[in-house]
Structure formats: structure tokens, C-alpha cells
Amino acid sequence: MCSIKIESVVKEKNRMGECPVWEERENALVYVDINSQKVCRWNSVTNEVHSVSVDARVGSVALRKCGGYVIALGTRFAFLNWETESVTTIAELEQDKPNNRFNDGKVDPKGRFFAGTMAEETEPGVRARRQGALYTLFPDYFVVKQLDQVDISNGLDWSLDHRTFFHIDSLAYAVHAFDYDVHTGKIACCKVLYQLEKEEQMPDGMCIDAEGKLWVACIDGGRVIRIDPETGKRIQTVKLPASRITSCCFGGKDYSEMYVTSAYDGLDKAALAKEPRAGEIFKITGLGVKGIPQYSYAA
């Protein structure tokens, strides 16, 4: 076994750090702070963080082939021009659900952007059930609803052969697998792949590695877990120095580093005192496995 090393690389704390994406052309990690309504970019060479504020909670960010980013914020899809800091809306959804917002999202192997919604809590611990959905934004800006009656649409990725789509609805405490038609972008035939154990708490973000195994961030579980989709078994656990672990992605020059986001929102004063690193972004090295480059939205 390699010796695993965990270090904090982004000390600027995030209320709800999420959706890390490695951007090769910038040597940078792009991510969002949902509750601060910001898209952020950490330059791994200069160690600087730049951020762009937007006008709603932003659940996810992805690369665009032509530069800049596609984001899912509030209940709309938009493009973000990093240089001008301008946001251009391309599709508005769920106007009839004022408590909903977009959450996690990712681009598929053909350049389509998948992102899902969720109901916000109306008061602590109170949330309308099954209000969310999963959408696909096609390169021609056409939007298709793939799933509805979702609680908290969360982590997502595709198998290396592009025949399976993996998705997390957090309140199901499980990772689901769907048949995937890469030519049409359609999903079908849902099955439970992995049910989380009690101490793993709730599944959040997710990514796949170059061996086809899934890594799942466990919010309130303080860990990422590695799942084998062939067997449906957990094969590795890596514990981190923060409890609210939100998402993960591979990056670095050969995709051998894992970047893990975390949150401090949801922790009271006593918990924050015990967790000085809550909200920071961690880099894990020595995992002995690499990731694959992120796909870019085709338009």
C-alpha cells in the first residue's frame, strides 16, 4: 500500500464547498461555495484563490470547451465568463418551486451537462420531500428532465465504458446505477449499487477513478469511501480532518491527487471549536490510483 498523505491546500474556508473540478489548462481547481454564492478558482502554482460572486446559490460548475464555465445556480443554467465575471442565463427551470435550487452537476462523455435540483430547508431539519429532479442541458441548450421525485440530487459520474450512469439521491443513503445510452444521453433501469452504513452517514459528491471504482464523499461522515461497482462493496475508507466532507475529484498533473471539499455551515460553535479545518479543501496523495480528466460542455 502507498502511504496516504492528507494536507489542507485551500485555507480560505467555505461555508459549503462543493463540486471540485480540475482545470488542466489553468493548473487550477475550480469549485463553488454554494451558500456564499461564489464560484472559486484555486491556482495550484501561485496558491491564490480568485472568486466570482453570483446572484443565487450556485450548486455546480463545469468546464466549457470554448473556455469559461457552465454553472447551475438558483433554478437556472448559465454560462460564466471568468474574465468579465459576467453570467449569461441559458435556461430557466422550476419557476413554480421557489424553495428549490440546483445542486451537484457534471458533464458527460459527449459534452452534455447533467445537474439536479433539491428543496432547500424551510427551517432547520424541515424540507419538502421529493421536490427535486435531474436535468440534462444538451449542447444546443435543449433541456431534458431525466428523473423527478428526487430529494437531494447529488453526486454523479459515468462508467469508463460509458454504459452506466451513477447517481446519488442523498436522502436515499445510497448510490444508484442506471443503464446509460451515450448516443442519446438517456438513462434507464435504476438499481441500488451501494447502501451506506450508519457511520458513513449521508452520501454527497462522487467521482470515478481510472480503475472504474467510485469515490463517494460522506457528509457528516468525515470520509471518502471507495466503492467497486462490479461487486457493490466498499473497498477503502479515507478519513479526513473535517466532518462535513462534500465532494471529491482527481487532479494535478497526472490526476494522481484527490481534491476534497468540505463545509462549515451546519456546525455549531462547539463543533467548530473541535474542527478548526472545517470548510477547507484537502489534497490526498499516495492513493495509488489516478483519476481521469473532466469532460467539458460541448458548447
pTM above 0.95, yes or no: yes
pLDDT tens digits along 54-84: 999 999 999 999 999 999 999 999 999 999 9
Q: How confident is the model at residue 25 (pLDDT cuts 50, 70, 90)?
A: very high
Q: How confident is the model at residue 129 (pLDDT cuts 50, 70, 90)?
A: very high
Helices (H), the chain: 269-274
Collapsing DSSP states into helix, strand and coil, what is residue 33? strand
- CA angle centred on 60, ends 9 and 185, rounded to 5°: 125
Q: How confident is the model at residue 1 (pLDDT cuts 50, 70, 90)?
A: low
Strand order in the sheet with 202-208: 202-208, 214-219, 223-228, 233-239
> What's the chain's average pLDDT?
97
Q: Give the annotated binding-site residues.
A: 18, 101, 103, 121, 154, 204
User: CA quadruple 42, 47, 53, 57: dihedral positive or negative?
Assistant: positive
Radius of gyration of the chain (CA): 17
pLDDT tens digits along 178-195: 999 999 999 999 999 999
Catalytic hit among 104, 157, 204, 209: 204
- The CA distance from 228 to 209, in Å, is 11
Residue 232 has pLDDT above 80, yes or no: yes
Cβ-contact 189, 198 below 8 angstroms: no
Closest CA to 206 of 151, 163, 258, 257: 258
Please indicate whether residue 161 is annotated as part of the active site: no
Q: Give the annotated binding-site residues for substrate.
A: 101, 103, 121
Q: Give the annotated binding-site residues for a divalent metal cation.
A: 18, 154, 204
Closest CA to 193 of 207, 179, 174, 180: 174
